Structure 1
Amino acid sequence: MSPPEPTQAAPQGQGDAALVQAYLNHVRVGKRLADRTVDLYTGDLERLAAHARDTGVALTAVQNAHIRRWVAQMHSAGRSARGIALILSGWRGFYVWLGRQSLIDHNPVQDVRAPKAGKPLPKALGVDDAVRLAAHQEEADDPALEARDACITELLYGCGLRIGELVGLDVAASGSARGWIDAKDGEAHVLGKGAKRRSVPVGRQALAALGVWLAQRAAWAGDDPALFIGSRGQRLTPQHIRVRLKRRSLRAGLATPVHPHMLRHSFASHVLQSSGDLRAVQELLGHASISTTQVYTRLDFQHLAQVYDAAHPRAGARAGQSPKAVPDAPTAPKPRAVRPR
């Protein structure tokens, strides 16, 4: 659809420039926005003015169809959906201000939305890196600290727990406990999203780490029933665990700092690669809908595509490059049982 004819003649560039400058003064002085934010607005409005100038319309004469065409141009040029959304936000604010100045009778950006962003793949570790992190041992001044962090790592990767489920674990089951681990039956009972309870298998390595931590925990224990506590006996916070896990991953020699949800993604991806049982992974993760779990099939296909690109003599034609230029595929995971570590 071609944009409508401009309703008024485009003024000289100085007129548009004056409007833009007046608005920037407004957000800088009137709204007291940070200099960095004003700089971003400046770039966005310079882009808007350039589009209007190239089209031959004044900023006050821009129509909805113009905005939609410029959004399509930015999208086809490779700008991300998030970047376009930020630009539209800046443009929208400018036209709101013009309306308050009675310079336009409608906001041409009001009902324009950025292209829908593709859902990014979850970040998961390779099998070798995940096992290296779980097996990592440090010589710590306080053996309880090392035992606790090792147990946290094993449960996050071995059970696929959310960080909220992990910090909610108590030492023993009780009427007030959000979660606990039944070492005898090898199960973790947790309270997940939507206050839904589920049971997750706890593997041999995680149970061993739990036993070591419980033996050390007595030196720190206070009145808090939490399974994971600090040296003063208080329940650990999610932020504390994030900091400790990031530190541990770097000390284990991993190139990427690890956060707790990355281990949950790794758990799901590795179990799915080994078993191919999407329903089982859904149950283990506690997803209400299997469509949420299906994102891990994209990770599995990505792994298969890398193996194909590296191994097949005609893969270069598919990828648009010669076979020699294709990067080495990651180490394929060894077959495992559905039950995680």
Structure 2
Amino acid sequence: MSAALDDSGLVERYLEHVRVEKRLARRTVELYAIDLRKLSDFAATANVELLRVQNAHIRRWVAQMHSRGRSGRGIALILSGWRGFYTWLGREGRVQSNPVQDVRAPKAPKPLPKALAVDDSVQLADWHDESADPWLEARDAAMVELLYGCGLRVGELVGLDAVASTTARGWIDLEAGEAHVLGKGSKRRSVPVGRKALQALQAWLPLRAADAKHADQPALFTGRHGTRLTAQAVWQRLKQRSMKAGLATPVHPHMLRHSFASHLLQSSGDLRAVQELLGHANITTTQVYTRLDFQHLAKAYDAAHPRAQRKAGKA
């Protein structure tokens, strides 16, 4: 019997095993068959029998799949099928070791955080809804300015109190132009509050104080019933506001934090300063914004540099 036929027979026996003895679903068995056909094709191309496949072969084939655009998740599923096949072969006494045992799929690249373009961020921050309730408009405008102007997390924003106290999680020092917040890991930090954010707060605070429902409520940002605003409510208000302001994509609070970091890094190039302002414990967390910054530079290069522009029909 040829090696190819022998390999085919092994695959068929394994598929029968998972279908009958393990009672796997029909679709699962079909997917196993596809993955094992791929394994057989790789082995045939390398002129090696399935029973003689080594760890180095598996690693090479993983690299080939990855270079052809197969996702890390897709490769992980294929490896799972191959690993099960060789585990069965080991129990059958056909192989002495599993060549797939310590092989892992390539890690999928972490998606870049979504950040707005500078113009879109300014458009959102400058936008005012003339038809809205002045109370709600002043409150929402102040929230946007703090999220984009200070890079606050939404939890830090809703945790702010109107007045500093020993029990406050965070507060705004208008005179010093600083926001004092309680971040992740219960770590406190202070960040500067820009002129526009201070103006928005000075417009909001008198309206907040004039509402009797806020007499005993320390929260800086509240709802109409006088209770502290929730993170979910901020998400909803910001989404509505961004759509009304004419932005192409709904904006969420963390997108404004990403925009703050990206735009600050583009302007200053000071990664350590951005790390401190964001309250990141590890600078590797902040370094993701250098990728956003590079994207910005690459787009500018492609659009403006004469050596980046190719004539039609030229390779």
Match of 2:296 in 1: 303
Q: Which runs of 5+ in 2 are unaligned?
A: none
Q: CA deviation at 1:168?
A: 1.5
Match of 1:50 in 2: 37
Out of 248, 259, 279, the position equivalent to 1:255 is 248
Equivalences for 1:1-80 in 2 at 5 Å?
Answer: 9-12=6-9, 14-22=12-20, 25-26=23-24, 28=25, 41=28, 44-54=31-41, 55=43, 64-80=55-71
Cα deviations across residues 91-149 of structure 1 (Å, max 9, x unaligned)? 65x559959x9557765544221113334332211110000011111245533222222
TM-score computed with the length of structure 2 as normaliser: 0.80
Cα contact 2:39–2:82 (8 A) shared by 1:
no
**Distance change (3 Å), C-alpha of 1:299 and 1:141:** closer
Match of 1:158 in 2: 149
Out of 219, 239, 246, the position equivalent to 1:246 is 239
Q: Read off the aligned partner of 1:278 and give its amino acid letter.
A: L
Cα contact 1:24–1:42 (8 A) shared by 2:
no
Cα deviations across residues 160-180 of structure 1 (Å, max 9, x unaligned)? 111221121112111121111
- Find out whether 1:225 has 2:218 as its counterpart: yes
Match of 1:271 in 2: 264
CA distance in structure 2 between the partners assigned to 1:226 and 1:24 by the alignment = 58
Out of 126, 134, 138, the position equivalent to 1:147 is 138
SS in 1 for 2:163: coil
CA distance in structure 1 between the partners assigned to 2:104 and 2:173 by the alignment = 50
Aligned length: 302
**Distance change (3 Å), C-alpha of 1:65 and 1:127:** same
**Distance change (3 Å), C-alpha of 1:179 and 1:111:** same
CA distance in structure 2 between the partners assigned to 1:235 and 1:61 by the alignment = 66
Out of 280, 284, 290, the position equivalent to 2:277 is 284
Q: Which runs of 5+ in 1 are unaligned?
A: 1-5, 29-37, 326-341
Cα contact 1:198–1:286 (8 A) shared by 2:
yes
Cα deviations across residues 225-283 of structure 1 (Å, max 9, x unaligned)? 22222222222222222222222212211112212111111111212222233332222
Out of 184, 187, 190, the position equivalent to 2:178 is 187
- Kindly indicate which of the two structures has a greater share of residues assigned to helix: 2
Q: Read off the aligned partner of 1:295 and give its amino acid letter.
A: V
Q: CA deviation at 1:285?
A: 1.5
Q: Read off the aligned partner of 2:146 and give its amino acid letter.
A: L
**Distance change (3 Å), C-alpha of 1:314 and 1:193:** same
Q: Read off the aligned partner of 2:311 and give its amino acid letter.
A: S
Q: Read off the aligned partner of 2:301 and give its amino acid letter.
A: Y
SS in 2 for 1:10: helix
Cα deviations across residues 9-37 of structure 1 (Å, max 9, x unaligned)? 324364344345458843x5xxxxxxxxx
Q: Read off the aligned partner of 2:7 and give its amino acid letter.
A: A
Of stretches 156-165 and 51-60 in structure 1, the one that deviates more from structure 2 is: 51-60
Match of 2:206 in 1: 215
Of stretches 195-204 and 110-119 in structure 1, the one that deviates more from structure 2 is: 110-119
CA distance in structure 1 between the partners assigned to 2:162 and 2:17 by the alignment = 64
Q: Read off the aligned partner of 2:59 and give its amino acid letter.
A: R
Q: CA deviation at 1:223?
A: 4.0
